[in-house]
Amino acid sequence: MKNDKATNNLIQNGDFEKTQNTQWMYSLTGNPIEVSEEEHEGKNSYVEIKTTQSIFQRTRFQPNDSGTITLSIRGMLPVIVSVMDASLADPAVYWSGEATPDNSNEWKVETLAFALGDKLGSDLSLHFQAKWDQNADATVDIDNIKIESEAGAAINHGDFENGATSWTDSLTGSAIQTSDEDVVEKNHFARIHPTESIFQRHAFKSNQSGTIKGKLRGVLGATVAILDASTPDAKPYWSTNIAGSHTDFTEFTADFNLGDVDGQDLCLHFQADYHQNPDEYVDIDDVSMTINQ
Backbone angles phi, psi at 158, to 5 degrees: -70, -15
Using the predicted structure, report yes or no on whether residue 149 has a pLDDT greater than 70.
no
Q: What is the pLDDT of residue 154?
A: 66
Using the predicted structure, report yes or no on whether residue 31 has a pLDDT greater than 70.
no
d(CA 258, CA 148): 17
pLDDT in tens, 231-254: 777 889 999 999 999 999 999 999
Q: Could you tell me which residue, 209 or 59, shows the higher pLDDT?
A: 209
Give the residue-averaged pLDDT of 157-161: 81
Backbone CA torsion sign across 117, 119, 122, 128: negative
pLDDT in tens, 168-212: 876 554 434 455 444 445 678 888 998 888 988 887 888 889 899
pTM of the predicted structure, to 2 decimals:
0.51
d(CA 126, CA 83): 5
